[in-house]
Amino acid sequence: MNRITQKLSPSLEDYLEAVYRISLNGKIPRVKDISALLKVKTPSVVAALKALERRGMVVHEKYGYIELTRRGEKEAERIYKTHMVLKQFFEKVLGVDSSIAEEDACTIEHYLNQDTFDRLVKFLEFIETCPNQTPFWLKSFHHYVEEGERPPGCGKRNGNKKEQ
């Protein structure tokens, strides 16, 4: 089988991630499940699965179950992990509503450079483990977002001078 090795489009990445997400829940993915999850029509799912199959990412028999290949699972896991890290950053650090964080993570996951992703993971690990509580600057940021003003002890910067 001739495999196409070019980078997947954001749309195909979404389909691949959908297969992965469904299988994480212990279900065997089917076209109707992907259609429901992505809110697309079944012919779109079938066309995407054919494209993924040509790239060696999935195995799909007509009207049958869908399985990720080893290569497909590796790529789907990468996409899913990126999605979840972005969502966590948007929710926990920026305080974005969960549904908006989900939507934004789904959009950005396709374009994030690996180096940026690695730094983001390290940043989240750092703020979650050192110190063992929410850092002052993060609490201050959340206060600023919610109240529209800096909390006491968090002065404005004017050049290198700090105003009180």
**Beta carbons of 49 and 15 less than 8 angstroms apart:** yes
Average pLDDT over residues 91-109: 95
Q: What distance separates the 2 farthest-apart alpha carbons in the chain? A: 69
Residue 107: name the closest of 14, 33, 18 by CA: 14
What is the rounded distance in angstroms from the CA atom of residue 72 to the CA atom of residue 58? 6
**May I ask the CATH architecture of the domain 77-147?**
Orthogonal Bundle (1.10)
Preceding omega of 131 cis (within 30 degrees of 0)? yes
Tell which residue, 117, 16, 88, has the closest CA to residue 59.
16
136 pLDDT band (50/70/90 cuts)?
A: confident
Class of domain 10-75: mainly alpha
> Please, what is the average pLDDT of the chain?
88
36-56 pLDDT, tens per residue?
A: 999 999 999 999 999 999 999
User: Domain segments of the chain: what residues?
Assistant: 10-75, 77-147
